[in-house]
């Protein structure tokens, strides 16, 4: 099955979409990557979902990527004697280390690292920002706050700290167990939540040892301020607009989305735009016009993938949500303005052989109006550099490594095919032409441009370009 668009669609699985038949329907509607949210999935459930996705993959004959999303540190207040408390803006309210049930004056905060890190003037946002507190006095055992806005607080509501750099890593004890479990099942991507600093990625890399690619979710101001360092240590980024919109001013989020997307594109790292893209489709069969515009902006920006969360995981219309996103993305990429916008955002290539070859392949392919760029890639690096150029031509990524084809299923423009490694240059050219012909990217008499590394089978040695005709039998012509 060949997609008619270059941007990829990432669909979250959940109660509405966990059965094998539904996973297949979501793939057929346009999903390229499936996300398993470890905040709501136990290990047995995760293994079941992975097995079902792999079964669908074998049935459709196309590589499908699996993203396991780790929960990260969830910071919450304690409980109240009456389940909740009514507050008044301007009053004093205290968070402390006393485990006794809370009331309208105080509540337990079972996180000593917060009590010790918050300074006077820092903001504390409770329940996704519905309650806004400002610290006035701190002792290390309690935080005396002023209520700025909001009137209610209840049991176990989440705490966000946009001004505070917490001395904790992004990997909790639950995350460590989840990470071991998902790596054992062979997932392709692991998403790390609430990244604050580059060091947060080190522990995950040490455990993963290359068994899965690492995606950093950018959802905290601290991560935005150190974006370049985090990109360097990540394999991909996610613009997690939900928590980002809680910890930063809502009006700042669109600009930050563009900043992250463009920075990732410059680095040649995949970037996913996520959260509330088609939120109304949780309960409605069609989206709002504003949501359609939101999805289109991410596509115009050149994001690698756009994501559905509750829309596909727990909504009433999971298949319709994927199909709608597919239709929006396809139409945007047909827009006459799309190529110019994508080209205007393109960065200069880095001074490497792979980037020079990728740039030349795009320029030659577009100048000669070739049918496709065919790239041989073992580790996936060559494919990523080809996608960084955002060519108008389709990109066919050929790899003998199934894990590589699955990881690249997340990447913009990639049509991934698992194939044996070529044995000779002639075999390489014939194989590229035959697959382009078979996959519907070219007919007899069309030309493709092929990039590869010589000697063959050497990872990271992209140094060759070849233009070839597709013959009448699908093999290379003269």
Task: For residue range 327-338, list pLDDT tens digits in order.
Answer: 999 999 999 999
The pLDDT of 176-193, averaged and rounded, is 97
Are 105 and 82 in contact by the 8 Å Cβ rule? The answer is no
Q: 392 and 430 in one domain? A: yes
Are 420 and 439 in contact by the 8 Å Cβ rule? The answer is no
Distance of CA 280 to the CA centre of its chain: 21
> Which pLDDT belongs to residue 476?
62
Are 303 and 7 in contact by the 8 Å Cβ rule? The answer is yes
Q: Indicate which CATH number applies to the domain containing 382.
A: 3.40.1380.20
Q: Indicate which CATH number applies to the domain containing 133.
A: 2.40.33.10
The pLDDT of 264-283, averaged and rounded, is 97
Q: 112 and 93 in one domain? A: yes
The pLDDT of 242-270, averaged and rounded, is 95
Task: For residue range 128-154, list pLDDT tens digits in order.
Answer: 899 999 999 999 999 999 999 999 999
Q: 452 and 360 in one domain? A: yes
> Which pLDDT belongs to residue 203?
87
Domain boundary among 137, 160, 183: 160
Q: 299 and 233 in one domain? A: yes
Q: Which residues contact 477 (CB under 8 A, 6 or more apart)?
A: 433, 444, 445, 468, 469, 470, 471
Q: 365 and 326 in one domain? A: no
Q: 428 and 318 in one domain? A: no
Q: Answer yes or no: is 476 within a domain.
A: no
> Which pLDDT belongs to residue 81?
96
Domain boundary among 333, 364, 393: 333
Task: For residue range 391-422, list pLDDT tens digits in order.
Answer: 999 999 999 999 999 999 999 999 999 999 88
> Which pLDDT belongs to residue 347?
86
Total of domains in the chain: 3
> Which pLDDT belongs to residue 167?
87
Domain boundary among 139, 160, 181: 160
Distance CA 228, CA 267 (A): 9
Distance CA 137, CA 461 (A): 59
Q: 56 and 104 in one domain? A: no
Q: 279 and 152 in one domain? A: no
Q: 91 and 39 in one domain? A: no
> Which pLDDT belongs to residue 353?
83
Q: Answer yes or no: is 2 within a domain.
A: no
Task: Show the domain range for 389.
Answer: 353-469
Q: 373 and 286 in one domain? A: no
Q: Answer yes or no: is 141 within a domain.
A: yes
Catalytically active residues are 35, 76, 217, 275
Among 292, 280, 288, residue whose Cα is nearest residue 317? 280
Query: In this model, does residue 459 exceed pLDDT 90?
Result: no
Average pLDDT, the chain: 94
Q: 284 and 174 in one domain? A: yes
Omega cis (within 30) before 455: yes
3-class DSSP state of 314: coil
Q: 316 and 179 in one domain? A: yes
Q: Answer yes or no: is 475 within a domain.
A: no
> Which pLDDT belongs to residue 295?
98
Query: In this model, does residue 115 exceed pLDDT 90?
Result: yes
Q: Indicate which CATH number applies to the domain containing 13.
A: 3.20.20.60
> Which pLDDT belongs to residue 106?
97
| pLDDT grade for 350, boundaries at 50, 70 and 90 | confident
Q: Answer yes or no: is 341 within a domain.
A: no
Distance CA 38, CA 66 (A): 13
Query: In this model, does residue 478 exceed pLDDT 50?
Result: no
Q: Answer yes or no: is 429 within a domain.
A: yes
Q: Answer yes or no: is 346 within a domain.
A: no
Q: Answer yes or no: is 478 within a domain.
A: no
Task: For residue range 92-114, list pLDDT tens digits in order.
Answer: 999 999 999 999 999 999 999 99
Instruction: Tell me the three-class secondary structure of 159-175, residue by residue.
Output: EECCCCCCCCCCCCHHH
């Amino acid at each position: 099955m060949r997609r008619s668009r270059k941007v990829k669609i990432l669909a979250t699985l959940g109660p509405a979409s966990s059965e094998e038949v539904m996973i297949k329907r979501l793939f057929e509607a346009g999903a390229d990557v499936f996300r398993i949210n470890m905040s709501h999935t136990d290990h047995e459930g995760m293994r079941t979902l992975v097995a079902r996705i792999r079964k669908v993959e074998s049935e459709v004959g196309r590589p499908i990527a699996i993203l396991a999303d780790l929960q990260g540190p969830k910071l919450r207040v304690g409980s109240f004697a009456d389940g909740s408390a009514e507050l008044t803006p301007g009053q004093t309210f205290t968070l402390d280390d006393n485990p006794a049930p809370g009331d309208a004056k105080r509540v337990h905060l079972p996180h000593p690292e917060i009590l010790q890190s918050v300074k006077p003037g820092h903001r504390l946002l409770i329940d996704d920002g519905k309650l806004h507190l400002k610290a006035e006095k701190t002792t290390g055992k309690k935080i005396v706050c002023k209520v700025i806005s909001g009137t209610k607080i209840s049991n176990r509501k989440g705490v966000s700290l946009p001004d505070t750099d917490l001395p904790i890593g992004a990997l909790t004890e639950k995350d460590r167990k989840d990470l071991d479990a998902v790596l054992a099942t062979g997932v392709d991507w692991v998403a790390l939540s609430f990244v604050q600093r580059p060091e947060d990625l080190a522990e995950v890399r040490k455990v993963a040892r290359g068994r899965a690619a690492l995606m950093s979710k950018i959802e905290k101001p601290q991560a935005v301020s150190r974006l370049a360092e985090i990109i360097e240590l990540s394999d991909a980024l996610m613009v997690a607009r939900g928590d980002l919109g809680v910890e930063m001013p809502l009006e700042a989020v669109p600009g930050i989305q563009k900043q992250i997307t463009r920075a990732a594109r410059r680095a040649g790292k995949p970037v996913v735009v996520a959260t509330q893209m088609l939120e109304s489709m949780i309960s409605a069969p069609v989206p709002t016009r504003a949501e359609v515009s939101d999805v289109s902006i991410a596509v115009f920006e050149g994001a690698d993938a756009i994501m559905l969360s509750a829309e596909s995981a727990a909504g009433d219309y999971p298949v319709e949500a994927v199909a709608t996103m597919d239709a929006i993305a396809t139409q945007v990429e047909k827009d006459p303005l799309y190529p110019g916008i994508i080209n205007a955002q393109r960065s200069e290539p880095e001074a490497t052989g792979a980037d020079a070859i990728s740039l030349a392949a795009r320029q030659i392919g577009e100048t000669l109006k070739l049918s496709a760029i065919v790239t041989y890639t073992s580790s996936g690096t060559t494919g990523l550099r080809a996608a960084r150029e955002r060519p108008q031509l389709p990109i066919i990524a050929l790899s003998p490594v199934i894990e590589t084809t699955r990881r690249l299923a997340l990447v913009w423009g990639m049509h991934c095919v698992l194939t044996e490694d070529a044995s000779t240059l002639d075999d390489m050219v014939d194989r590229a032409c035959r697959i382009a012909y078979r996959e519907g990217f070219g007919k007899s008499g069309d030309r493709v441009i092929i990039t590869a590394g010589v000697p063959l089978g050497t990872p990271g040695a992209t140094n060759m370009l070849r233009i070839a005709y597709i013959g009448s039998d699908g093999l290379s012509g003269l």
